[in-house]
Chains A and B, each alone.
Chain A
């Protein structure tokens, strides 16, 4: 296929075989189950960071077979877009390996990482789609942008404009998105980092809303990114594809977001790992992204820090690192609320597992990204520290450390501590964590150092 794949994707969306969505879903579930067995994939709850290169490679082959067999479902036409194995392999081979994010002195280079790499992770921050109030959004984003170890700024979801609920598809959506984009740019400017890469505006639902964030002076620029979503699992629609059409012509970074669900159509941890790796390949073909967000999630708890979620980060990251040039970042969603030791232990476990497995670091979503204003700069600083301290670590050592972290929060997963919101944890005048939040952070840092991870 040519570099601009959209004409061909559209053609196949109009001419591919019709299929009921439910039939597509169940065909995927059946195929995944067969592939888990065929490729001998096995999740072991005590080996969350497997050092098994062959299993990582088998996982990649299973993922490739899944995408070629299953195709991608266009919900707008109810047709399946199929790709040949050769088309998939060619697209993967030519996917970006190295990117420059942001502009000028604030630009960072994010490139493909290998397993157990000493190459530092690029660190993106929250709010990672977490709901944010209009009042605190400027302070929350400032708290992230000012963190020296944070390289790129993420976005939260703000549901009001000047106090009124934003209704998608109305002028309020456009106005709200423009305000969000200004807020993010201003946060970067205030931090003395005007060229910092902003990876999304998370409030809009429509294509028009998303695109309205783009404004060279006041909003997002071609050195920034916007997320384009794959719907669960292997699904797209013309609204998402239209975003790609605009963004690639504007020269923006397209960010491929996927949310494979553990326990969902992929079934087990092994099946969801196949779906997650295959979703990266799918993203390359349909969205032509600069980079990906490795966003698998527990079906019932909206987190990825349980044992299955951590294993999927690790084995899937390794499969991509060993078999593709792609660049992918985490999206760590914790069960615990902000301002608790548990939230930091969850971050540490995911950060270690993903760093040694070839991924870069995305933002943190406390409480599964569900509670308003449960997001701040400090947990992103912590994530960066843990990730940098993990560089070059071998997988066996990483596994031991991850298990030690898991022991410290696993029991709370059924009844997670609710934590506190940003205004309860930050001094709002100076936008610094208050003593309570700092004490918890320092306590966990110290304990991690005692476990052998040199954070300072």
Chain B
């Protein structure tokens, strides 16, 4: 990586929002274009952070903090972008833990992993019912609905969301991916989900395949 990016890289790895934003602005002022900073530095760096987390070489708070720095940088460099220029996102995803299930950690891990892998993710929280998930997906302009369940008795709620979404919005408006402790690939297929992720990294791969 270009040595001029090293301070920015350090700020992102350390989760330092203020320093990350100021380093990005400094780079812009030295003639780097925001899109260039993202493609040459931030995107490969986030990929590396995601991979490190998938081996637990770093932990969830570090990954979340790095994602927050990147979000702050996105906002900070916006005024420096040329007309028609846009920072690329791979796609938009709403993510939720289904109705009746209060567990959020699995969902939060997947969200953080999707964040650092270039997706724009809206977290709807836990215990969210089908109608609210679909409405939020519409409002957000989502490409993908990601559903999480930790408890075995939550599986009917996952199926509810899949059936409701397809009944109300049609079969192909949203790609639906599912995951969580009690969810198996066989169950996901049988329930009508479009994809299944065994862990956060696999969720990213599934999303990538959806939006290829």
Contacts and interface: CB of A to CB of B under 8 A. Distances in A.
A165 B152 CA distance: 10
A371 to B, nearest CB: 9
Contacts of B153: 157, 159, 166-168, 173, 203-205
B102 A264 contact: no
A205 B182 contact: no
B61 A237 contact: no
A205 B181 CA distance: 15
B71 interface: no
A299 B100 contact: no
Nearest to A368: B181
Contacts of A168: 100, 153-154, 156-157
- What bracket does the count of chain A residues touching chain B fall in? 35 or more
Contact of B60 (A75, A231, A263): A263
A264 B59 contact: yes
Contacts of A33: 61
Contact of A265 (B61, B101, B199, B200): B61
A78 B62 CA distance: 24
Interface in B91-133: 100-105, 108-109, 125-126
Interface residues of B, number: 29
Nearest to B64: A26
A262 B157 CA distance: 28
A374 to B, nearest CB: 13
Contact of A131 (B65, B105, B152, B154): B152
A232 B157 CA distance: 21
Interface in A5-32: 21, 25-26, 29-30
Contacts of B105: 232, 261, 264-265, 299
Interface in B41-69: 54, 56, 59-62, 64-65
A370 B181 contact: yes
B12 interface: no
A206 interface: yes
Nearest to A233: B105
A39 B125 CA distance: 34
Interface string B147-177: 0000111111100000000000000000000
B59, B62, B157, most chain A CB atoms within 10 A: B59
12 contacts: A21-B125, A26-B61, A29-B64, A75-B102, A159-B153, A231-B104, A267-B59, A267-B62, A299-B109, A300-B54, A369-B181, A370-B182
Interface of B: 54, 56, 59-62, 64-65, 100-105, 108-109, 125-126, 151-157, 181-182, 199-200
